[in-house]
Amino acid sequence: GAVVSQHPSRVICKSGTSVKIECRSLDFQATTMFWYRQFPKKSLMLMATSNEGSKATYEQGVEKDKFLINHASLTLSTLTVTSAHPEDSSFYICSARDHTYEQYFGPGTRLTVT
C-alpha cells in the first residue's frame, strides 16, 4: 500500500535556528501534499497545501515566511521552520494524496524548540 515517510521523527533545536522536515511518498507519486500541525489532544490543523512545482497555498493565520514549503518533485515536500521559537514546538504531520484523491499520512515529526 501507499507509504509516506517523514524525517526526522524527532528534533530538538535551539530558539532562533531553522529546522527542515522532509516528507516523502515512497511508492506513489503525489502531486499534492499537505502539512498539518497538531497540538496535544487536539485535531489536525491544516497549515498549507503544496502542489508539485508551484507555490504552496497557506491557510489563514499561517505565516508563509516562517513556514517555508517546497515541493520540488512528485515524491518530496519539505517544511522549513525558520527562526524557531518555543511556541513552534508541536507535532507536524505531512500527508500525500494519490491520483484517487486518497490521503496517506506520514508518521509525524515531534519538534521541540528550547
Partner 1 sequence: GENVEQHPSTLSVQEGDSAVIKCTYSDSASNYFPWYKQELGKRPQLIIDIRSNVGEKKDQRIAVTLNKTAKHFSLHITETQPEDSAVYFCAARQNSGYSTLTFGKGTMLLVSP
Residue ranges in contact with partner 1 by CB under 8 A: 4, 31-32, 34, 41-44, 46, 49, 91, 93, 101-108, 110
Beta strand residue intervals within the chain, DSSP E? 4-7, 10-13, 19-25, 32-38, 44-51, 57-58, 67-73, 76-81, 90-97, 103-105, 109-113
> Rounded to the nearest whole angstrom, what is the least distance from the CB of residue 43 to partner 1 in the complex?
5
Which backbone phi and psi does 50 adopt, to 5 degrees? Answer: -120, 125
CB closer to partner 1, 57 vs 82: 57
> Rounded to the nearest whole angstrom, what is the least distance from the CB of residue 8 to partner 1 in the complex?
14
CB closer to partner 1, 28 vs 34: 34
> Rounded to the nearest whole angstrom, what is the least distance from the CB of residue 13 to partner 1 in the complex?
19
Cα distance between residue 69 and residue 35, in whole Å: 9
Q: Which residues of 24-35 are buried (b: 16+ CB within 10 A; e: fewer)?
A: bbeebebbbbbb
> Rounded to the nearest whole angstrom, what is the least distance from the CB of residue 83 to partner 1 in the complex?
26
CB closer to partner 1, 9 vs 83: 9
CB closer to partner 1, 38 vs 82: 38
